[in-house]
Structure 1
């Protein structure tokens, strides 16, 4: 399938296919079925004009790719970046398919992209672009709660998702489940508590599960557990920030932060909130006084001493050119496609562990699934049973106190009696998903000594699940 990449350039989609082909040899599926799983089913490229605030017309390039229809609807974010291209959107859509399969979320993969730098546009212009993009998707039947459900990605957030939801509602009056056409919405528009932090929280849980396996940590010369682990975070956006905050809650030390304008390092630890405040006041992370070292070249920040590196920015950040200088023993891929196949091969040969993107950053789509279910059911999680749980727990506490003669403090009663909130239920579901999925992948890897990496095992898991879906549909002999 043709893309807008010229020959010889880096191809993100080809990297994904290379990982896929490597893993496919450890499955027993028909070659034609494997080709069907690997291919992008629908690629919609379109252009539309907008009028800028200065009165000039500008033509915007945009894409929506639906990679796999083995499950409906398809699901995937929308990226706003001037680096967006067809190859990238196809790769991200493919990763979404495999990601959903790994964490047992019943969606096919999709992805969208608009080739703009959001910083170059006013809020009003961004709204016009977003609404026009949505109109184009509606016209071609590329959006809908049972068709294709977008979500935030790099350069987008709750604001853009609310514009999409409103535009879809306007064009589909009376559709009962219309708010299920997009996830990552604000709470006021039937979003779900915990969605914004979900990807970063999921990355932190993935790291925790990895480092708690004593056998694997022994081979790396590390002690089990997150506490005391030195972490470098690349990217202080939504994913990187929330990953850092949760890992700090687990006892990790954030020793390095890398951003597009530079990098900071302090082996004693950095305060990510203070760094963000410094950036808000100064327009850059550079000059932060509590950093012992700073680097004007961001890539140098990746190469400093640490136990775990979390690339949470963009693809193609760790390559064969810099992997030999990466000192981390574990790479947790918060971003999509940050490590090239050759770099991973080199890293694996020296004994390092990569927690692959298609599992590691699946927290976002997992909680988007919960939001979609909330929108279809038209009731918030916990609303039906929170008070019932509190009453039942209170009765149990009262009975125990009466029988034992022990009176609990108000704080102790509060911990026991409390019913679960939506956020607590969401985080519980996310944690269970990430824990189960990690150990499923690890079991697949350990069951076959020819499977060299967790990524290969993750691909094997997803390929088997998708193939089973096609076979059960009866459309494959």
Structure 2
């Protein structure tokens, strides 16, 4: 059994990051010791603190890890889960470092974790734990707009980020940039429009860009473009739902959706919004009208399709089922859904794998936009929206005069509208994902690397090396 495997023989996602890093390191000419510095976590803060829950005092275990200081502040979410442990948080922090480097977001990677089950604890007690955790971070200088900026992750959301901001502000009163101490906040507290769907939209932009490349599409026997592509998505949480919605709107056919309790299938396509409504009403996606139930979720991954999007769990594609995967493209919307052994099997089959280290970076990209908004103290679009509308109105008047034709009221509304905050955020995310894709692809071709994952790690490592060299840290 490999040292990267647990007793059941299943690869740990956390060991996979190191394995992929080492693969990429073979394409980089730099001293081994410097590569080890890039891999190492710079700071690990493990804490235990008491919180009164009901009539009892519970000792809460929690973490904050800062993987890299090559850029500041550090950036990464806070995971609320009973499965949280130090190795998990350290590796997720490393993943954040590489993600940020790939998409040119100037943060070092970080991650936090609180070992609780948010499903079994009241909102009042979650608030107590969150505020106490924040105060511990403040006391150790592990949070701040220029130091370390948390965000939501598994088990947390806008509510928890709002409590973090409020606690930080109460203990750092007078800090003019306090809003930028955390991202993923409600819009009313300095959050940015478009954050909720950012990861799913980033997945859509990344896959769409791949589908526009003739050479890549022809290599797997597919036509260019998304229209008509048959897609299977595993996981209908925040990421999977929004990705499915954007693919559906773009003309792709969502033939199957899979959740923990099973999957549903319709070769002619599923209406994502109706499936989601059915899920809310019944608590399950199963028994959706005009769809076939598939009891074993894993079997849904093996259906005939063009694109498979695992958007839920780690290690769902492994050595035992990889040979049965029929998709031409696999887009990793989740963290670590493919084990290294499965990676090799799919690669031999000619499957294009779009790696998680790039594809699900939409969330941190839009978190960066929120951080910038908080530092500038100006909502996106406030300065230029009216100016753009006035300029468009003048241009429209000239066109009507020259062409001697009146434009309809509905057409005028479309032409005259200035960019809103959500338009600018989505535009920035789209540009980021497109640029990231082509940088990875260029490295893959120029360095004769066989897959996108290794090329993505090479891109990330080179960017980190460049930052260290500019800081004068490397000799």
Asked whether the two chains share a fold, i.e. TM above 0.5, the reply is yes
Q: Name which of structure 1's ranges 184-193 and 391-400 shifts more when overlaid on structure 2.
A: 391-400
Change (3 A) 1:101 1:418: same
Query: Per-residue displacement from partner, 1:115-160 (whole Å, max 9, x unpaired)?
Result: 2222112221221222122122111111111001111112211111
Distance 1:208 1:186 in 2: 29
Kindly state the Cα deviation for residue 9 of structure 1 after the two structures are TM-superposed: 7.3
Q: Name which of structure 1's ranges 367-376 and 43-52 shifts more when overlaid on structure 2.
A: 43-52
Residue 461 of structure 1 is matched in structure 2 by: 459
Kindly state the Cα deviation for residue 305 of structure 1 after the two structures are TM-superposed: 2.1
**8 Å CA contact 1:266, 1:293 repeated in 2:** no
Where does 1:139-218 land on structure 2 (aligned, <5 Å)? Answer: 139-218=139-218
Note the residue ranges of structure 1 that are not aligned, 5 or more in a row.
none
- DSSP-derived class of the 1:75 partner: strand
Change (3 A) 1:416 1:473: same
Where does 1:368-383 land on structure 2 (aligned, <5 Å)? Answer: 368-383=367-382
Change (3 A) 1:408 1:102: same
How many residues matched? 471
- DSSP-derived class of the 1:439 partner: helix
Residue 400 of structure 1 is matched in structure 2 by: 399
Query: Per-residue displacement from partner, 1:171-227 (whole Å, max 9, x unpaired)?
Result: 111110011011111100010010111110000011101111111111111111111
Distance 1:473 1:63 in 2: 28
Change (3 A) 1:7 1:261: closer
Query: Per-residue displacement from partner, 1:310-336 (whole Å, max 9, x unpaired)?
Result: 111132222212212222111111111
Change (3 A) 1:152 1:309: same
Residue 25 of structure 2 is matched in structure 1 by: 24
2:121 equivalent to 1:87: no
Residue 13 of structure 1 is matched in structure 2 by: 14
- DSSP-derived class of the 2:350 partner: coil
2:297 equivalent to 1:267: no
**8 Å CA contact 1:183, 1:371 repeated in 2:** yes
Where does 1:431-446 land on structure 2 (aligned, <5 Å)? Answer: 431-446=430-445
Q: Name which of structure 1's ranges 118-127 and 56-65 shifts more when overlaid on structure 2.
A: 56-65
**8 Å CA contact 2:51, 2:59 repeated in 1:** yes
Kindly state the Cα deviation for residue 22 of structure 1 after the two structures are TM-superposed: 0.3
Distance 1:306 1:378 in 2: 46
Kindly state the Cα deviation for residue 13 of structure 1 after the two structures are TM-superposed: 2.5
**8 Å CA contact 2:98, 2:109 repeated in 1:** yes
Q: Name which of structure 1's ranges 22-31 and 277-286 shifts more when overlaid on structure 2.
A: 277-286
Kindly state the Cα deviation for residue 16 of structure 1 after the two structures are TM-superposed: 0.3
2:331 equivalent to 1:332: yes
Distance 1:269 1:127 in 2: 42
Kindly state the Cα deviation for residue 259 of structure 1 after the two structures are TM-superposed: 1.4
- DSSP-derived class of the 1:119 partner: coil
Residue 240 of structure 1 is matched in structure 2 by: 240
Q: Name which of structure 1's ranges 277-286 and 248-257 shifts more when overlaid on structure 2.
A: 277-286
2:412 equivalent to 1:409: no
Query: Per-residue displacement from partner, 1:403-462 (whole Å, max 9, x unpaired)?
Result: 33122111222222211000001110000111111011111111122x111011111111
**8 Å CA contact 1:29, 1:467 repeated in 2:** no
Query: Per-residue displacement from partner, 1:83-122 (whole Å, max 9, x unpaired)?
Result: 2222221121111101111110100011111222221122
Kindly state the Cα deviation for residue 37 of structure 1 after the two structures are TM-superposed: 0.8
2:434 equivalent to 1:428: no
Q: Name which of structure 1's ranges 155-164 and 196-205 shifts more when overlaid on structure 2.
A: 155-164
2:438 equivalent to 1:452: no
Distance 1:269 1:58 in 2: 49
Kindly state the Cα deviation for residue 354 of structure 1 after the two structures are TM-superposed: 0.8
Change (3 A) 1:263 1:94: same
**8 Å CA contact 2:11, 2:339 repeated in 1:** no
Distance 1:238 1:71 in 2: 29
Kindly state the Cα deviation for residue 256 of structure 1 after the two structures are TM-superposed: 1.4
Q: Name which of structure 1's ranges 97-106 and 55-64 shifts more when overlaid on structure 2.
A: 55-64
Aligned-residue CA RMSD (Å): 1.7
Kindly state the Cα deviation for residue 10 of structure 1 after the two structures are TM-superposed: 4.2
- DSSP-derived class of the 1:64 partner: strand
Kindly state the Cα deviation for residue 294 of structure 1 after the two structures are TM-superposed: 2.4
**8 Å CA contact 2:286, 2:293 repeated in 1:** no
Q: Name which of structure 1's ranges 195-204 and 134-143 shifts more when overlaid on structure 2.
A: 134-143
TM-score by length of 1: 0.95
**8 Å CA contact 2:276, 2:285 repeated in 1:** yes
2:119 equivalent to 1:119: yes
Kindly state the Cα deviation for residue 301 of structure 1 after the two structures are TM-superposed: 2.2
Where does 1:274-353 land on structure 2 (aligned, <5 Å)? Answer: 274-295=274-295, 297-353=296-352
Note the residue ranges of structure 2 that are not aligned, 5 or more in a row.
none
Kindly state the Cα deviation for residue 251 of structure 1 after the two structures are TM-superposed: 0.8
Distance 1:136 1:185 in 2: 20
Distance 2:156 2:207 in 1: 25
Q: Name which of structure 1's ranges 177-186 and 400-409 shifts more when overlaid on structure 2.
A: 400-409
Kindly state the Cα deviation for residue 8 of structure 1 after the two structures are TM-superposed: 7.6
Kindly state the Cα deviation for residue 7 of structure 1 after the two structures are TM-superposed: 11
Distance 1:144 1:25 in 2: 36
